[in-house]
Amino acid sequence: MKVSITALALLFIPVTQAQKQDNAAEASMGTQEKLNVDSANQQAPGTTETTEDASTGKRDGQKVESASHAASSLVPSSASWDSFHGQLNAQKYSPLKQITADNVSKLKKIWEFHTGDVSDGKGDTPATVWSATPIFANQTLYIGTPFDRLIALDPGTGKEKWHYDTKSSRKALTQPVLKNRGVSYWQARQPAPGQACQKIVYMGTVDGKLFALDADSGKPCSDFADNGMLDLNQWNTVNAKYPLSVLQPPTVVGNHLLVGWAGKDWAYAEAPPGTVFSINAQTGEREWTFEAIPAAIRKRTGTANVWTHMSADEAHGLVYLPVSSPSPNYWGGNRVDPIPLGTSTTALDINTGKVVWSRQWVHHDVWDYDINSAPTLMDITVNGKKIPALIQATKQGFLFVVNRLTGEDVWPIEERPVPQGDGSVQGEVLSPTQPFPTKPAPLLDQSKKPEIWKLADIVGAGQCSRLWDKLTYEGMYTPPTTKGEGTLTYPDSAGGVQWGGVAYDPQKQIAVVNTSHIVQYVKLYSREDYEKADNGSGNESGFAPQEGAPYGLRLMVANNWLGMPCWQPPFGEIVALDMHTGDVKWRRPVGASQQYGFFMPESWGSPTIGGPAVTAGGVIFIGASMDAKVRAYSVDNGEELWSDQVEAPAVANPSIYEYKGRQYVAFVAGGNTILKDQVGDQVVVYALPE
């Protein structure tokens, strides 16, 4: 579900600096100039719809067109971290080398900042979930908070420069909690001195508004939309009674702001169709829209939206959309027509919004397997041939690798027969096959029913064994059922991989990704039975109505009475892959699970939320784990090199930047209640001692 109904919760219950900046600006200008010119040719606001051929599948929904451009290097030339994933290619890579695998053990906390915007959900304010990666731009560290405030900080000391309160609703309008994933940054090619809004910071809000502020002063940009505020819900005209939230910062490509949104597709069969808006970065005018759902069926389904960040190949004018599943999540009888752009990676021409190619990773999704992270772009050499590649991590724990210009396979991706269910669900028409990559190998073993953890079964007096016997399971992609205790699903709907996505070292051609290993089970109830059974839900598990569908559902994590997982550990890992061969280079459990105040053995690992960043110094930085620690690992062999305790699980990817000649690593320790009930408001920054 958009942004997942799941239940990890679950695991246990309850050069000189100036020169570098100039170089970065020049590199950016070259790209922006091209995109600015292209943008100027279509300044008039209006809507250029995605080709109906693509959204209806008349051209099969795959490789709709092929680009013919040659590969270009994606290795970052500067140490900027001015977007959600560091760079638009989503590599989460820093070329900085001051902190290395040899000296990272000396890392010290330099400063911390508390926003004050935090709630544990026990009062009138919903609990906060904070996944905002700090961005470094304009010699400033910018952050957004779950109370929808923007804050600018001195990157060397943490002293506040300015803050702005959007005064948005502090109600859980489309999500069970208050969420924020941060801000975006844009600047003019040649900023005019003394003129406001030549550099702009953007942030969306839970009530669907997008704010544009001057990056130096924090004051609204008067030329942007309605005095610095754009209300996206003005364009929400199909199934409009369900509002949009803008929790993810826009993806800034040249002068275009690419904006997706989050909704509530576990609650409703009908929902707004998942429109992506391209908006002029200076004026707020709408340029084009993208629709994944064919026009003929938009009124009876919805979503197939983009609720996480996107990536872009600026040199080739392409933006890559991780598209979620249509609504509702676990029944598809209202959407048996082809929706080939749903649950896909789709490449668009950044200037027109036209589909260039699209690959669907789940056909007729009834498992809530949204594509939930930006694909990572990389140039790789396979069998001596340089390939402009894209790697898409998925909730299923698959890594699909394709040519990012054409959508064609790098390693073969096969359509294989999948289970067709027990026929207990009316109106459902399942896909007979699903795509499986032949390489890289799955990040977790979904080829068989997960083994029962004997310790949990013994403690539960056979409870896990009894549950396993009552669950339907015919292999991965076993569809939901109305029978027994339901269908065992593995990985869970939060995902084997989540929005942190894949990091990539372009020098060593090593990809790094963290995983979660969680078993869930889902059961559908007829409307009459649902009304009798529904006893509410927690943050991310329990009952969900799928209003408008003939079935409601119950989604649970497979724990015993004590909250112990019924399946064998590890519960989370970090994995490194050699992208020359697609083989695993190393893998290891990451973090430690926690219950009743006690940490479990680290060999059991932890479920993870958030993702890694890598550096040219040979270091991986990551939080993500339940034990609220931030860590550094060796890129070469996975050895843990450093760790520190922070206020709450750091569920956002870290950012890495250089300021006045010193390398810093910044984490947000905000927590996520689907991991455990520990939230925070801490920004914490590390560096080597001077």
Catalytic residues: 368
Task: Find the angle CA(214)-CA(218)-CA(219) to the nearest 5 degrees.
Answer: 75
Sheet holding 486-489, edge to edge: 471-472, 486-489, 520-526, 551-557, 542-544
Q: Which residues contact 574 (CB under 8 A, 6 or more apart)?
A: 512, 513, 514, 515, 587, 588, 590, 608, 612, 620, 622, 633, 638
d(CA 582, CA 352): 34
CB distance 471 to 484 below 8 Å: yes
- Report the candidate in 250, 174, 124, 208 with the shortest Cα–Cα distance to residue 5: 174
Tell me which H or E stretch contains 527: helix 527-533
CB distance 590 to 574 below 8 Å: yes
**Backbone dihedral region of 241: left (phi > 0), alpha (psi from -120 to 50 degrees) or beta?**
alpha
- Report the candidate in 372, 374, 407, 377 with the shortest Cα–Cα distance to residue 494: 372
Alpha helices in 387-462, H assignment, sequence order: 454-459
Q: Which residues contact 320 (CB under 8 A, 6 or more apart)?
A: 310, 311, 312, 313, 345, 346, 347, 348, 374, 375, 377, 390, 404
Sheet holding 613-615, edge to edge: 93-94, 613-615, 619-622, 629-634, 640-645
CB distance 382 to 456 below 8 Å: no
Sheet holding 376-382, edge to edge: 376-382, 385-393, 399-403
Structure tokens at 332: 């598809």
Structure tokens at 40: 């100027």
- Residue in this structure with the two tokens 């698959």, named with its chain if needed: 398
CB distance 93 to 505 below 8 Å: yes
In the 8-state DSSP scheme, what is residue 273? B
Structure tokens at 295: 């026009």
d(CA 21, CA 99): 20
The length of the chain in residues reads: 690
CB distance 418 to 477 below 8 Å: yes
